[in-house]
């Protein structure tokens, strides 16, 4: 059996009823963590994730909460305290897209994406830090007081026409993460981000469902395949584990090389 990188760790994964969040929750449990599987509206899916984890001998519970509201975060952290006795790892992952051409974008869609993808991550991270401090350092458990992973995106760096709300939120996550990491490292709180590229999930079905779309998308991915949620989850396990204890304030891109300006392969 491979070493369980997250043995004994208590983790909260937001937006874990589907896609990348679900894969992270499952991989964390596989690596030995107990997991709170947060969802906002997909109750059945979230309970299925928890159930799958339990059936494989892991510990997981599904908890409903809207992370973009302070009350939602209170519920969530109350549940993790009650059910798991504390928190060691937060994966602030919940996110969505509401795409539109710039002048067509409604204020509602701008706000929704900023609220969930940026403010939601801020609120959860703030509460996690408070809890880490209350719990105190337990060096048997981890050399870190606590660990936070943000789910960012290649679009924290790659501008994205037709998605200004999403790119603005992810750009915000980058500097939220880096500023927090700088502020909190002396307390042994480790803050990092994972930044997926094109991963096959429901958020981007249009980009890979048809052959034509796939072909177009693959031009942007030097490694020649679209990512799977498990590609991201494996990296997240390592970044949340103490194997990466000296990694602080870093964004780990999991993108098959999408960040490498692939359009320049034949030009420039
Ligand atoms: C977005 C996807 C997109 C990918 C690469 C992600 O952050 O959510 O819709 O396919 O970036 O552009």
Q: Find out whether 86 and 141 touch, Cβ atoms under 8 Å.
A: no
- Give residue 267's pLDDT: 82
Q: In this predicted model, which residue has the larger pLDDT, 2 or 237? A: 237
At residue 18, the 3 state secondary structure works out as: coil
Catalytic residue among 39, 166, 246, 261: 166
d(CA 157, CA 167): 8
By most ligand atoms within 8 Å of CB, the mutation choice from 203, 223, 231 for ligand 1 is 203
**181: pLDDT strictly greater than 60:** yes
**186: pLDDT strictly greater than 60:** yes
Is position 166 annotated as part of the catalytic site?
Answer: yes
Helix or strand run (H / E) with residue 122: helix 120-135
- Give residue 1's pLDDT: 47
Verify whether ligand 1 is closer than 6 Å to residue 203 (CB atom): yes
* Segment 62-106, tens digit of pLDDT: 999 999 999 999 999 999 999 999 999 999 999 999 999 999 999
Verify whether ligand 1 is closer than 6 Å to residue 200 (CB atom): no
CA proximity to 10, closest of 81, 73, 75: 81
Q: What is the mean pLDDT of residues 52-68?
A: 98
Strands 146-151 and 189-196: parallel
- Give residue 3's pLDDT: 78
Domain parsing of the chain, residue ranges: 10-254
d(CA 198, CA 227): 6
* CATH number of the domain located at residue range(s) 10-254 in this protein: 3.40.50.720
Residue 2: band (very low, low, confident or very high) from pLDDT cuts 50, 70, 90: low
* Segment 108-149, tens digit of pLDDT: 999 999 999 999 999 999 999 999 999 999 999 999 999 999
The backbone torsions φ and ψ at residue 174, rounded to the nearest 5 degrees and listed phi first, read -55, -50
Give the start-end residues of each E strand in the chain.
Answer: 10-13, 34-39, 59-64, 89-92, 146-151, 189-196, 251-254
Q: List the residue whose alpha carbon is closest to atom 7 of ligand 1.
A: 153
Question: What is the 49 CA–ligand 1 centroid distance (Å)?
Answer: 23
Q: List the residue whose alpha carbon is closest to atom 9 of ligand 1.
A: 204
Q: What is the mean pLDDT of residues 164-186?
A: 98
d(CA 118, CA 116): 6
d(CA 46, CA 30): 17
At residue 37, the 3 state secondary structure works out as: strand
């Amino acid at each position: 059996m491979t070493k369980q990188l997250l043995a004994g760790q208590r983790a909260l994964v937001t937006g874990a009823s589907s896609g990348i969040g679900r894969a992270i929750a499952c991989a964390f449990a596989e690596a030995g963590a107990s997991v709170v599987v947060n969802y906002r509206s997909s109750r059945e899916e979230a309970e299925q994730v928890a159930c799958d984890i339990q059936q494989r001998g892991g510990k997981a519970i599904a908890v409903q909460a809207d992370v973009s509201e302070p009350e939602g975060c209170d519920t969530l952290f109350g549940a993790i305290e009650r059910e798991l006795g504390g928190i060691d790892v937060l994966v602030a992952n919940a996110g969505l897209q509401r795409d539109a051409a710039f002048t067509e974008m409604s204020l509602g869609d701008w706000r929704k994406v900023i609220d969930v993808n940026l403010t939601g991550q801020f609120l959860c991270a703030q509460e996690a830090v408070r809890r880490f401090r209350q719990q105190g350092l337990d060096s048997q458990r981890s050399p870190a007081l606590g660990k936070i992973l943000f789910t960012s995106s290649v679009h924290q760096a790659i501008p994205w026409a037709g998605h200004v709300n999403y790119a603005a939120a992810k750009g915000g996550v980058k500097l939220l993460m880096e500023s927090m990491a700088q502020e909190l490292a002396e307390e042994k709180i480790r803050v990092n981000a994972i930044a997926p590229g094109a991963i096959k999930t429901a958020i981007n079905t249009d980009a890979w469902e048809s052959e034509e779309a796939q072909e177009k998308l693959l031009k942007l991915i030097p490694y020649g395949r679209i990512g799977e949620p498990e590609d991201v989850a494996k990296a997240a396990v390592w970044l949340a584990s103490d194997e990466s204890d000296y990694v602080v304030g870093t964004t780990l891109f999991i993108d098959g090389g999408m960040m490498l300006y692939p359009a320049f392969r034949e030009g420039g």
